[in-house]
Amino acid sequence: MTGSELAECVYRARCGSLNAIEDLYRYLRENLLPRLERALRQKADAEDILHDTLIILWDHIDQIRDATKLLAYATRVAVHLIARGRRERLRWAPLATVDLPYLDPTGPSIHSEELLELALGKLSEAQHRLFRLKYASGATEGQIAEELGITHRNLHVRKHRLLRRLRENLAGN
């Protein structure tokens, strides 16, 4: 797609043309998807990022000033989405380090979901609320701090204490 064709396509997308969005998708699939596949080494992940990128482009199509730089803009959006995905994996990493207690195979059968439920039940209301906000709602740390009316530093301290208490509860079950 030439620069003028791309500009025309963006203009039609601004006017609400679904055909233009399909054209943009084909353009990004042809030009951005191979780069994403090389970077992520997973075709399914690359396609997910491409689809999310297209949704963001659609939401912000009015902010694109120079349509000839659409590929560069889409690439920056995709890189941001990849970084956000990596941050999300890191966010859940503390729970992955929780050691489940040894279970006697001859004893009663307890599933890990039940263990987690028991451990969560032993948390204070404030810790349980923090757990829901941090690990269930998907809220950002800034949103959580604002919701709780605390500073970011205080949030980190509370999160650390929450995870320590959760580990203790899991080890005690």
Tell me the DSSP string of 29-73: HHHTHHHHHHHHS-HHHHHHHHHHHHHHHHHTGGG---GGGHHHH
How confident is residue 112, by pLDDT bands cut at 50, 70 and 90?
A: low
Separation between Cα atoms, residue 75 and residue 92, nearest integer Å: 26
The CATH class that applies to domain 108-172 reads mainly alpha
Domain ranges of the chain: 3-93, 108-172
For 66-85, the pLDDT digits (tens) are 888 888 999 999 999 888 87
What confidence score (pLDDT) does residue 111 get? 59
Residue pLDDT, tens place only, 58-69: 888 888 888 888
Give percent above pLDDT 70 in the chain.
84
**Which of 59, 8, 52, 12 shows the shortest CA–CA distance to 28?**
52
Name which CATH class applies to 3-93.
mainly alpha
pTM of the predicted model over 0.85: no
Q: Tokens standing for 107?
A: 């004893």
The Cβ of residue 32 has, within 10 Å, a number of other Cβ atoms equal to 21
Q: What is the mean pLDDT of residues 9-32?
A: 91
Instruction: Please count the other Cβ atoms lying within 10 Å of the Cβ belonging to residue 126.
Output: 12
